[in-house]
């Protein structure tokens, strides 16, 4: 996700200093015009605005607060935009430590997966001060078609958790419905086109059903990453005392797929859980 997002910033004319423990995306970005940093601390020491895009809460804490982390290089007045999808309480914890050094943080997770990261059409959900958001909004608009501030620090990741619950439940519902239809002998592609314009139609349905019909589960957003997001959602719900029955059930479906060796499939591949049990595949008829 981070590489195509950085590519779009380069194409828009921004000067970038990049660092990653994986040298391959760094090499590609340097070839495209970026400068390579030697560590997170080094990048921060040379930057007014620092953007992080990482897998989960522990990685963000390590990159920002750990050895050679951003906190040791960042200057007062700088802005950290964490675009990772992490636990909201971790965003608040990191923000409080940075504020002690005069640094403002935004949590700005994204939705849309790698395809929209490449296109620069991500949905970006931002938490943090309005003044800071206004300062960096034009930068975020290079990476996203929808850039919305939803509240104070942590609210960006709360919004992302809500987004991921809705997406997961949509995909699971699509899987149940289309496996039922196929088992009944009705063409799933015809059903898709019949319902997509009605109340059951959705962005999720339009994004995932054509891929399912082709049997294409190449990851745009991996099941293992959705498991991570749902775990954060379940943990946050437990902290707040909110019942999330359906989310818990979808989490079990994804965990079963992980055990079945499908963790790196696209989350649209959740339908494979139902296909295996019903002994039928939802595919385009030749």
Q: Which residues are catalytic?
A: 160
245 vs 151, 233, 251, 268, CA distance in Å? 26, 12, 10, 21
126 vs 45, 111, 167, 200, CA distance in Å? 24, 12, 19, 29
20 vs 52, 60, 126, 189, 279, CA distance in Å? 10, 12, 23, 42, 43
Token reading at 182:
């196929």
Asked if 229 and 55 touch (Cβ cutoff 8 Å), the reply is no
DSSP lists the bridge partners of residue 105 as 80
Q: Is the dihedral of CA 176, 182, 183, 184 positive or negative?
A: positive
Pinpoint the alpha helices (H) of the chain.
2-11, 23-31, 40-45, 57-65, 88-99, 113-119, 130-143, 155-183, 188-195, 203-214, 223-240, 245-259, 271-278
Through-space distance between the first and last CA atoms of the chain, rounded to whole angstroms? 34
């Amino acid at each position: 996700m981070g590489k195509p997002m950085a590519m779009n910033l380069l194409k828009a004319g921004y000067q970038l200093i990049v660092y990653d423990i994986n040298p391959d995306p760094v090499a590609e970005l340097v070839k495209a015009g970026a400068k390579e940093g030697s560590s997170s601390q080094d990048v921060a020491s040379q930057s007014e605005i620092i953007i992080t895009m990482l897998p989960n809460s522990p990685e963000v804490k390590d990159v920002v607060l750990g050895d050679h982390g951003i906190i040791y290089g960042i200057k007062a007045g700088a802005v950290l935009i964490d675009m990772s999808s992490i636990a909201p309480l971790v965003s608040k914890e990191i923000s409080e430590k940075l504020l002690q050094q005069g640094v403002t943080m935004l949590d700005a997770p994204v939705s849309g997966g790698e395809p929209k990261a490449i296109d620069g059409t991500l949905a970006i959900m931002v938490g943090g001060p309005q003044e800071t958001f206004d300062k960096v909004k034009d930068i975020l608009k290079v990476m996203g078609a929808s850039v919305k501030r939803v509240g104070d620090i942590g609210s960006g990741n709360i919004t992302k958790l809500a987004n991921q619950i809705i997406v997961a439940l949509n995909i699971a519902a699509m899987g149940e419905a289309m496996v039922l239809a196929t088992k009944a002998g009705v063409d799933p592609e015809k059903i898709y086109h019949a319902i997509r314009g009605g109340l059951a139609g959705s962005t999720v349905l339009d994004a995932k059903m054509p891929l399912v019909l082709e049997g294409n589960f190449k990851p745009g957003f991996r099941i293992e990453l959705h498991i991570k997001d749902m775990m954060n959602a379940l943990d946050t719900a437990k902290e707040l005392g909110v019942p999330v029955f359906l989310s818990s059930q979808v989490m079990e479906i994804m965990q079963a797929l992980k055990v079945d060796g499908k963790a790196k499939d696209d989350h649209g591949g959740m339908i494979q859980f139902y296909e295996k049990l019903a002994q039928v595949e939802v595919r385009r008829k030749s």
